[in-house]
Amino acid sequence: MPTVEELAALIQAALATTPADQLWINPDCGLKTRTYAEIAPALRNLTTATQQLRAML
């Protein structure tokens, strides 16, 4: 499961080439094949990383 830091780094890399107002963070990363116990923390990490980066913009 990706950590908040790993996800934030990926989002920052995307922001290096894509304007923030054109970047859509999409959690479609194989969630259909995961259990809810795996999905909930992964989505929490993605949400936290996104919120942290938005606060910096």
* 33 vs 47 pLDDT, higher one: 47
pTM of the model: 0.85
pLDDT > 90: what percent of the chain?
A: 63
Q: Which pLDDT score, from 0 to 100, does residue 29 have?
A: 64
Number of structural domains the chain divides into: 1
Q: What percent of the chain has pLDDT over 70?
A: 98
* 38-42 long-range Cβ contacts below 8 angstroms, 24+ apart: 38/1, 41/1, 42/1, 42/2
CA 54 from chain centre, in angstroms, equals 12
Domain region containing 17? 4-56
Residue 26 gets the label, from left (phi > 0), alpha (psi -120 to 50) or beta, of: beta
pLDDT tens readout for residues 23-38? 999 887 677 888 889 8
Query: Tokens 């094949």 label which residue?
Result: 33
